[in-house]
Structure 1
Amino acid sequence: MAIFVRLLIFSLLAIVAWRLLTVDVDSVEARDISAEHDIVFFTAPWCGYCDQARDYLDDQGVDYLEVDVEASTANNRQFQEVNGRGVPLIFIGETRMAGFSPQAYGRALERIQ
């Protein structure tokens, strides 16, 4: 029993230390997103359409903030605050789009340039 308690305490301390030492560079408040960035792109690592959208944005040479919704609870909270239901979800200026369409992305990019 004493070994179990020691392992449990050690595990809890390790988790707390990991959370305190982990820096999430994408963590910004959802209300600040549009004020700080013209393009905010919510993604997930397994998302093929996210890869296509990222390639498109990179080919266009535009700067964007990418928020991996699975990287942290803060990122997922941002996604929920903007009523995210699936990825990719992108905000280009005032335009909100779910999914990926090069034509739709292109039209939205024209409006902010």
Structure 2
Amino acid sequence: MANVVIYSSNTCGYCKMAKEYLGEKGVSYEEKNISTDPTARKELMQKGYMGVPVIIVNGEEIVGFDKARLEQLL
């Protein structure tokens, strides 16, 4: 099973779509919500990203909700 982490925010529509997609696929993931978790926000900025979603699958970083790329990595 893939190790999946998704950086998201409360107001991000693409984050919601990505989480729904992963749920439909039966993929468990760790969510790091930058709206409510200052540590997650710092982690994301240290990685060089200012926007969400950022989805990390087994160490591979995907910026945005890229369904085709997720399919490849899952």
Tell me the TM-score normalized by structure 1.
Answer: 0.60
Matches within 5 A, 1:17-96: 38-96=3-61
Partner-residue secondary structure (3-state), 2:19: helix
Q: Deviations over 1:43-95 (max 9, x none)?
A: 00100000110010001111110000111221211212222221000100121
Tell me the TM-score normalized by structure 2.
Answer: 0.88
| Structure-2 separation of matches of 1:81 and 1:63 | 25
In structure 2, list runs of 5 or more residues that go unmatched. Answer: none
| Structure-1 separation of matches of 2:30 and 2:46 | 16
- Following TM superposition, the consecutive aligned residue runs of length 4 or more in structure 1 with deviations greater than 4 angstroms are none
Count, aligned residues: 73
| One-letter identity of the residue aligned with 2:70 | Y
More relative contact order in 1 or in 2 (CA 8 Å, sep 6+)?
2
Higher percent of residues as helix: 1
Higher percent of residues as strand: 2
| One-letter identity of the residue aligned with 1:103 | A
Q: Deviations over 1:17-48 (max 9, x none)?
A: xxxxxxxxxxxxxxxxxxxx811100001000
